[in-house]
Amino acid sequence: MTRKIKVCTLIAFSLASISCTQSEAPGSDKSAAPTVTDTRSHDYFSFANTDQFVTQHLGLDLVVDFENEALHGSATLQMRRIGSDATEIILDTRDITIESVSFVQTTGEMLTAEHRFGETHRVMGTPLFVEMPADIRNDEELTLRINYRTSPESTALQWLPAELTAGLEHPFLFSQSQAIHARSWIPLQDTPAVRIKYTATIHTPPELLAVMSADNDPDAARDGKYEFEMPQPIPSYLLAIAVGNIYFAPIGEDTGVYSEPELLEASAFEFADTQTMLETAEAMFGPYQWGRYDLLILPPSFPFGGMENPRLSFLTPSLLAGDRSLVSVVAHELAHSWSGNLVTNATWRDGWLNEGWTSYLEHRLMQVIYGEARADEENLLSYRELLLDFETINPAMQALAPTFEHGNPDDFQGVIHYHKGNLFLQYLEHTFGRDVFDAFIGDYFSDFAFGTINSEQFLDYLDENLLSAYPDKVSREQVKQWLYAPGLPDNALIPTSKNLDTAAEMAALWSRGEIDIADVPSSDWSPQAIRYFINSLDGDLSTERLSELDRALGLSDTSNAEIGRTWFIQVAQRQHRPAYEKLEQHLRRYGRTRLVRPVYVALARNGSDFELARELFAETRAIYHPLTNISIESSFRLLEEAGQ
Ligand code: BES
Ligand code: ZN
């Protein structure tokens, strides 16, 4: 099912067919868009009968039990019945123990409800069926209370012992609900198609602080009982909690950062531009609808670069490079406050509406705040990653809006949603002009605010508001090509960067021995240019030359996690053994999947080190997140199947 590392079948998709043309003449696109066979908007990944009942409010009252690695307490769901003869509510759960289920009547009286679990599905978890008792069969507003307990196996929760935190003294808990993990810490309708408001009371050990994707109070008394409210309706994948020895430092009037005290000063420095980012984003995309915007820096095992939990983005500590060079991740998570959190993909199959739009808005923010040159560099690096994915991802999954029935929303599309989505929107901006496209963006976010949308609804909206309003620029068929065909259409604008071109030229000259390493002005370069330089080196370089390069540029000792990732992938691919010890340190220092998995994969594929990759992973997996481990295991499995 995993498409990411499908190295066994090198798809015969010719990269050469991606031309560098910027022609957008309508009809210039000869190949017809494929027929769309699946335009359903139901959620492939939820059991919930949302056509019969919809949740409007969730009330949580939970105890955080570090000793037993469990949350326990109650979830109270206020639901509306929309199917007139519906009597059975179906909720999503995974690895949750239900203690009791009842309906709270308007009198306050509790009515016990019959409930049962259905069959467990490997990806979707276990449906929970709840019967409406006869006494309330005619009610349209229902309050369902579920007393429950999570399992230590909850896929959303990571319970970290003190050794895996910065301070080494207190345990830490954090959640990751996207895509379909909320159901492993709360029984609920776990689909982005339903939006809920929530309140929560969280009981923790008194010395720890709880924060949520809600109205965090930086001045909350640290007494082990924390109250939260999220007054704006959000999809379930944005429910989030973290508990630990967490402190706060302000950045600007509406922005700040939470982290363990050991990282607080470095975090406030690294993310000092967050207030400016917020203000710039508001000026460009319309009002920020969520009150404050804060950041939470997690322990190293946080599996992603960032997660856009509303009001409180969760971030990997690997962004703390000391020079603000990796803050595009903050621009990205902030931009989700519009694309994703305000206007949400209806199903995970439409994920490009979240991630593609967000990558585009991230690029727009980077242009304004850090200048065109840096934005160009990052755009080109992302494009190169997209090309790599086109080589390995099944063509059917290269569509922005693919047709599929099965699979796991955690692992099917690599960076296609992100960077192909970005290029699609850059193409529209270029073709209609920035002013026209900006007006479209503003209307889109206000017309769909606090709503959900699928790819076909987007196509219709785009057609009505842009294509038809400015005829002869882009045809509906051309847009369908973007949405439903593999690869990139001919009209895509191929990113370019002067700085990165220079770095690539230097890499070629040095590789051929035409210049000395001292002639490469790398100390004037951005970390992005260093990465491009490393990726542009010739295939066959001797160990001595690689060691010389490593020494001159300090690659093995870099404090920039992305440079480390790029370098150690090369070290593994080229079997550059003098740097293997540092490679191992890299694998132990970081937990973000993006930083470690490709290094294991490069080792496993280099023809001699699959066994070493397995051993290193066996030693290190205890410090990674379960999702990271699943992802590395599945990469190894695919490589084995491919006989690597
Ligand atoms: N929402 C995603 C993270 C995510 C995606 C979690 C899919 C679970 C399933 C987040 O906004 C994201 O895209 N993070 C990227 C940041 C990068 C593209 C700037 C990451 O973690 O690499
Ligand atoms: Zn994202």
Q: Which of 205, 226, 208 is nearest to 217 (CA)?
A: 226
Please indicate, yes or no, whether residues 336 and 469 belong to a single structural domain of this protein: yes
User: 53 and 38: one domain?
Assistant: no
pTM: 0.94
Burial class (CB in 10 A: 0-12, 13-18, 19+), 293: buried
Q: Which atom of ligand 1 is nearest to the CA of 333?
A: 11
Helix (H) or strand (E) holding 91: strand 88-93
Alpha-carbon torsion, ordered 561, 562, 568, 570, to 10 deg: -170
Regarding whether 462 and 419 lie in a shared domain, the answer is yes
Q: What is the pLDDT of residues 60-87, one digit of tens each?
A: 999 999 999 999 999 999 999 999 899 9
What CATH number has the domain bearing residue 340? 1.10.390.10
**Pocket perturbation via mutation, ligand 1, pick of 304, 354, 592, 593 by most ligand atoms within 8 A of CB:** 304
Residue 552 Cα to ligand 2 midpoint, Å, equals 35
Catalytic residues: 333, 418
What pLDDT is stored for residue 643 in this prediction? 85
Q: Judge if 435 and 399 occupy the same domain.
A: yes
Residues 230 and 330 in one domain: no
Q: Where does 188-336 show beta strands of DSSP type E?
A: 195-203, 209-212, 225-235, 241-244, 247-250, 255-259, 293-297, 306-307, 312-315
Regions of the chain short of the pLDDT cut 50: 1-40
Count the domains in the chain.
3
Final residue before a domain boundary, out of 244, 266, 282:
244
- Domain co-membership, 442 together with 464: yes
Ligand 1 probe mutation, 315, 332, 385, most atoms within 8 A of CB:
332
Centre of ligand 2 to C-alpha 336, Å, is: 7
CA 309 to chain centre: 10
Q: What angle do CA 450, 143, 220 make, to 5 degrees?
A: 65
Residue nearest to atom 17 of ligand 1 (CA): 329
Q: Is the residue at 344 inside a domain?
A: yes
Residue where a domain terminates, one of 244, 265, 286:
244
One domain for residues 24 and 114: no
Q: How far is the CA of 622 from the centre of ligand 1 (A)?
A: 22
Q: Given the CA of residue 329, which atom of ligand 1 is nearest to it? A: 19
Q: Is the CB of 192 under 6 A from ligand 1?
A: no
* 412 domain residue, yes or no: yes
Residue 434 located in a structural domain: yes
The answer as to whether 9 is a domain residue is no
Q: For residue 592, give the CATH number of its domain.
A: 1.25.40.320
- Domain of 112 in residue numbering reads as 48-157+176-190+194-244
- Residue with the smallest CA separation from ligand 1 atom 13 is 355
Q: Please provide the DSSP assignment of 334-385 as one string.
A: HHTTTBTTTEEESSGGGTHHHHHHHHHHHHHHHHHHH-HHHHHHHHHHHHHH
Q: Are residues 340 and 452 in the same domain?
A: yes
Is the CB–ligand 1 distance for residue 422 below 6 Å? Answer: no
Last residue of a domain, one of 225, 244, 263: 244
Q: Which amino acid is at 432?
A: F
Q: Is residue 212 part of a domain?
A: yes
Residue 202: CATH number of its domain: 2.60.40.1730
Query: What is the spatial distance between Cα 458 and Cα 450, in angstroms, rounded to a whole number?
Result: 15
Is 594 close to ligand 1, i.e. is its CB under 6 Å away?
A: yes
Q: Best mutation site among 355, 357, 631 for ligand 1, i.e. most ligand atoms within 8 A of its Cβ?
A: 355
Instruction: Tell me, yes or no, whether 62 and 104 share the same domain.
Output: yes
Residue 490 lies in a domain: yes
Q: How far apart are CA 246 and CA 208, in angstroms?
A: 7
- For residue 295, being part of any structural domain is answered with no
Return the ligand number nearest the Cα of 331.
1
Check whether residue 552 and residue 620 sit in a common domain: yes
Q: Please tell me the chain's helix, strand, coil percentages from 3-state DSSP, rounded to the nearest 5.
A: 40, 20, 40
Instruction: Provide the pLDDT for residue 1.
Output: 28
Q: Is any ligand 1 atom within 6 A of the Cβ of residue 625?
A: no
326 and 224 assigned to the same domain: no
Q: Closest by alpha carbon to 203, among 220, 227, 182?
A: 227
C-alpha 473/C-alpha 275 separation (Å) is: 37
Ligand closest to Cα of 351 equals 1
Does the C-beta of 179 come closer than 6 Å to ligand 1? yes
Ligand that lies nearest to the alpha carbon of residue 597, given by its number in the listed order:
1
Residue 527 resides in a domain: no
Query: Is there an atom of ligand 1 within 6 Å of 355 CB?
Result: yes
> Helices 610-620 and 580-589 sit at what angle, rounded to 10 degrees?
40
Percent of the chain whose pLDDT exceeds 90: 89
Please state, in angstroms and rounded to a whole number, the distance separating the CA atoms of residues 226 and 223.
8
Tell me: do 333 and 478 sit in the same domain.
yes
For residue range 177-229, what is the model confidence (pLDDT) as tens digits?
Answer: 999 999 999 999 999 999 999 999 999 999 999 999 999 999 999 999 999 99
**pLDDT score of 9:** 22
* Cβ of 332 below 6 Å from ligand 1: yes
Q: Ligand 1: does its nearest atom lie under 6 Å from the Cβ of 329?
A: yes
